[in-house]
Chain A
């Protein structure tokens, strides 16, 4: 029964496809340990000096190694393995990081195999989040490539008997410039070994020298994904593997009383495991395990719901800690006095789910004192720590192996399913897969927090911002500081993180794509719209008048130009919204056109123009795709995505009631990326999403004169807001 493949087959399953795009390159420790003579010295790959692994007494956060060998290895066959602790979630580093290393080394892009997130092979990494890959991993990776190329040049100079100055590199070869037939391959120099020579201070390439960076490339993993060959955690099959389905409480905070497991035990082939709080039903077939679990009857003590979808905001204000200054200047009293008009408003947003299409999954294989895990995770190295602590094994005995991840958005930084699989593998003595159902995925999500922002803003008779008194509660402080030129301002964060002490949220909250910034940009940019309306100034002109930051000015102008912006005072009746923001070092300005059906309250976003100032682009095609993805995903939290709950009872458990964006929502999307190759690379996976709540709300305001102060702007809430403002009665 069942089709089980063993480890050997698994390796084959992960074999290179013809685009060489799998992040799971067919490499293993043994291959690296094969020593051979010559000029290069081999060491074990897990050498501590090389990898900066945690040793007793070391600080908890190792830093990236400085030895370039930690980042790359040139095989005897000429293929280049590039090692990164980052993982491929769909955001594209499988292509962009390969471009960087290939360009610095002067090898063909298709000779690079990315080895991603394998804790035995890759340099330590905190996790793939925060739009950090290109910004903070790219530069050291490029430096490693540049140094390796320089060392290869020196080695070739000795081999070829020609000075380095007379040599050039291209396509994985070093040759004498004047005599190209005198050449030696990198493969021959490196032979798959660690390179012992080092050269300090080798410069990375200037943009004018780029051959691959800055050029658009399609995804290198596409072939494996369109053929169904790409392996995600739930696709891993090991000999003897069992699928586990775990008993869950009905609501968060419920206390387990008892369970009758006899009916489940009676199902042929089923193994039932009870270990403290963990009750699981295991079977070689997941659907049989699930059916057996359904036969378990339980009693839980369920607490009464203290808060729900609508009362949460009052609760948040009640339990909020003191505000902590994020930014301040001038004097609020003087600001009030200087203002010709003051506008105050409160903005809220509901809890939002990550809802990646792939729910959390993991396979753990505990064999003796060693553990191997394949998991959908954004944080393989922290996952290794969690597994080692759970099982009481040294970290060196735990290996997290890479698989493709079916979307993360911050939700896969927590590794509950990995810990469950590791515990159950040890308890059952078999490899175990834990793959959460969609219902479990919703229940155990670390939601984007419900949050409140209060703003009091003032404007002078000349349409200049004069006062900004801003408090954010529980969203987090990322993106809270404004970037306008306001003489008297103060920004306070009441609870500066997207997580909070117990007693605040009825379930887990966490980082959600550009955490904090979606809420902060919504409140700030809506309030700017209201102040522009108050001042009677066009919203683009109003922003430009109150901006000094040249990057924001040029980004907004680029968006306005692409859109074909015609100035008009809001509300203009046209349904055009503007919003700006900064995230992960990237400046964003977005303009949207929307229509509102005032009978039903339905909003339809028709066109979105988004401009970004994001510095050096490694893969322009990838950057555009991330912007498009952010815009589409952002429509969800703007329009429909708000979790319904009563206390710890998560009511939305699947996509029938929790509505995410669909094809019929698709607006015309246009993107502009400022050409700034000499500026450092900035984040690209998150910034464009931050303004989507504001830009749609502002478009609704522009067409109706009504501001919707709560996200998502469901039809019922839009109707309510219109009624509040007496729409149609004026």
Chain B
């Protein structure tokens, strides 16, 4: 069942000999050692495992690794440019948009894909975009604020 699967991961090519039916989530977290992508429910309900596949926010617990062959995968570890954080990451820090931080990678990547298509969203639009990302700590108010602040900064030519 093992096959060779190639894709780009955080800007670098990878080639893996794996069972292509395994979920992207566990291949990322174990085979590739990128543990920033979190397991929260395993069934697509919580968004903690969200990654970007060709720029779209995707729940990695619901995707077989063979389905990302030849595609561009970005995880939370790949969002910063060297030491320079992405404006979303900076905004989450500045707005205290996290408590335990377990939902944070999924929130940031979902927001990233959303802002690509909606660069100047209202607070309501942000809340709607994040509706299926769960946060048990109740950081919702600040997450919306942070995404809005990041949007403003990015639109300002960042």
Contact of A628 among B83, B89, B142 (CB under 8 A): B142
A629: interface (CB < 8 Å): yes
| Bound-state Cα–Cα, A406 to B36, Å | 12
Q: Which residues of A contact B70 (CB under 8 A)?
A: none
Q: Indicate whether A660 sits within 8 Å of B36 (C-beta atoms), given known contacts A222-B96, A286-B26, A655-B45.
A: no
B149: interface (CB < 8 Å): no
Q: Which residues of B contact A229 (CB under 8 A)?
A: 36, 77
**How far is the CB of A197 from the nearest CB of chain B, in Å?**
40
Pick from B46, B85, B102, B103 the residue with the most CB of A within 10 Å: B102
B114-142: CB near A (< 8 Å → 1, else 0) gives 00000000000011101111111111111
| Bound-state Cα–Cα, A654 to B83, Å | 37
Count the A residues whose beta carbon is within 8 Å of the partner chain — how many? 63
Q: Which residues of A contact B132 (CB under 8 A)?
A: 662
Contact B39 A234 (CB under 8 A): yes
Q: Which residues of A contact B153 (CB under 8 A)?
A: none
In the complex, what residue of chain A is closest to B78 when comparing beta carbons?
Answer: A228
For this complex, 9 residue pairs linking A to B, each with C-beta atoms less than 8 Å apart, are A90-B98, A219-B96, A219-B98, A228-B34, A232-B35, A237-B33, A356-B100, A631-B138, A663-B144
In the complex, what residue of chain B is closest to A230 when comparing beta carbons?
Answer: B101
Contact A438 B40 (CB under 8 A): yes
Contact A226 B43 (CB under 8 A): no
Q: Which residues of B contact A218 (CB under 8 A)?
A: 93-94, 96
Interface residues of A in 11-36 (CB under 8 A from B): 18
| Bound-state Cα–Cα, A661 to B98, Å | 16
A435: interface (CB < 8 Å): yes
Pick from A284, A405, A632 the residue with the most CB of B within 10 Å: A632
Interface secondary structure of B, over-half rule:
loop
Q: Which residues of A contact B22 (CB under 8 A)?
A: 285, 287-288
| Bound-state Cα–Cα, A123 to B64, Å | 46
In the complex, what residue of chain B is closest to A666 when comparing beta carbons?
Answer: B140
- Residue positions of B touching A, CB distance < 8 A: 22-23, 26, 29-43, 45-46, 48, 75-77, 79-80, 83, 85, 88-89, 92-94, 96, 98-105, 108, 126-128, 130-144
Contact of A227 among B33, B45, B89, B143 (CB under 8 A): B89
Q: Which residues of B contact A179 (CB under 8 A)?
A: none
Contact of A656 among B45, B76, B140 (CB under 8 A): B45
| Bound-state Cα–Cα, A223 to B126, Å | 22
A1: interface (CB < 8 Å): yes
Pick from A226, A231, A435, A437 the residue with the most CB of B within 10 Å: A226
| Bound-state Cα–Cα, A438 to B44, Å | 12
Q: Which residues of B contact A235 (CB under 8 A)?
A: 29, 35
Q: Which residues of B contact A1 (CB under 8 A)?
A: 31
Pick from A227, A356, A630 the residue with the most CB of B within 10 Å: A227
Interface residues of A in 647-670 (CB under 8 A from B): 654-656, 660-664, 666, 669
**How far is the CB of B75 from the nearest CB of chain A, in Å?**
7
Q: Which residues of A contact B101 (CB under 8 A)?
A: 90, 221-222, 224-226, 230, 404, 406
